[in-house]
Chains A and B, each alone.
Chain A
Amino acid sequence: NAGVMQNPRHLVRRRGQEARLRCSPMKGHSHVYWYRQLPEEGLKFMVYLQKENIIDESGMPKERFSAEFPKEGPSILRIQQVVRGDSAAYFCASSPPSTSEQFFGPGTRLTVL
């Protein structure tokens, strides 16, 4: 059973461009969480999704950020018009229903020039 997959592992964007980060959960996992890790800080919760539904987006910035988890395919975290402050590591975690444990992917490291 493959682990949580994230791609790309490294992404470089110029200010004003769009960034798309992908997360494929483990097989059988229908819950996806996105976290952001800024330099020298811990991880901060961004959004929690189930298939085709956003359940909790209380950690998402109000503008430019969006997330989806379609019926088919990976979960996508989209950042429009990136700014230098968006440079961070973005981690996805997945879990099966009714369990407390989350399995983390290797992360996508976004650098905004």
Chain B
Amino acid sequence: AQSVTQLGSHVSVSEGALVLLRCNYSSSVPPYLFWYVQYPNQGLQLLLKYTSAATLVKGINGFEAEFKKSETSFHLTKPSAHMSDAAEYFCAVSPGFTGGGNKLTFGTGTQLKVEL
């Protein structure tokens, strides 16, 4: 079984400040990990993914995340927040692609607010 915990359902940062969104996972098999962003009334867009290669993963829009197996974490960061980053962010885990599919287990999401 797999699960994801996102600490902080709402995070507020100032424009230009560091963004840190936390994600911890539980998995009985080596996981694949993902961060998605959702803008209001839209679908999910993939920001980045970890699939057992480099532990520091760079994604779109200046985001990156580091896989730490010892801490079972996959926190999302961005050095400098922009107003356009305001959205909801979801961390997700999957067991890696298998013949049985690659279903994602999502966290409950973190709403990021960026203030002037």
Q: Do A and B come from one complex?
A: yes
User: Hey, which bits of chain A sit against chain B, CB under 8 A?
Assistant: 4, 31, 33, 35, 41-45, 48, 55-56, 59, 91, 93, 95, 98-107, 109
Counting from the closest, the 8 A-B pairs by CB-CB distance are A42-B106, A104-B43, A48-B101, A104-B44, A106-B43, A45-B103, A42-B108, A43-B106
Interface residues on chain B, size class: 20 to 34
Identity of the chain B residue whose Cβ is nearest the Cβ of A106 in the assembled complex: B43
User: B46 near A: Cβ within 8 Å?
Assistant: yes
Contact of A102 (CB < 8 Å), options: B42, B104, B105 = B104
Q: How far is the CA of A43 from the CA of B49 in the complex (A)?
A: 17
User: Hey, which bits of chain B sit against chain A, CB under 8 A?
Assistant: 32, 36, 41-46, 49, 51, 90, 92, 94, 96-97, 100-109
CB distance from A20 to the nearest CB of B (A): 19
Specify the main secondary structure of chain A where it touches its partner. strand
CB distance from B5 to the nearest CB of A (A): 11
New A-B pairs, 16, CB < 8 Å, besides A56-B101, A100-B32, A101-B46: A41-B109, A42-B90, A43-B106, A45-B103, A45-B104, A56-B100, A59-B103, A93-B44, A98-B97, A99-B97, A100-B94, A101-B49, A102-B102, A106-B42, A107-B43, A109-B41
Q: How far is the CA of A68 from the CA of B49 in the complex (A)?
A: 29
What are 30 A-B contacts with C-beta separation under 8 Å?
A4-B43, A33-B103, A33-B104, A35-B104, A35-B106, A41-B108, A42-B90, A42-B107, A43-B92, A43-B104, A43-B106, A48-B101, A55-B100, A56-B103, A91-B43, A91-B44, A93-B44, A98-B97, A100-B51, A100-B94, A100-B97, A101-B46, A101-B49, A102-B46, A102-B102, A102-B104, A104-B44, A104-B45, A107-B43, A109-B41
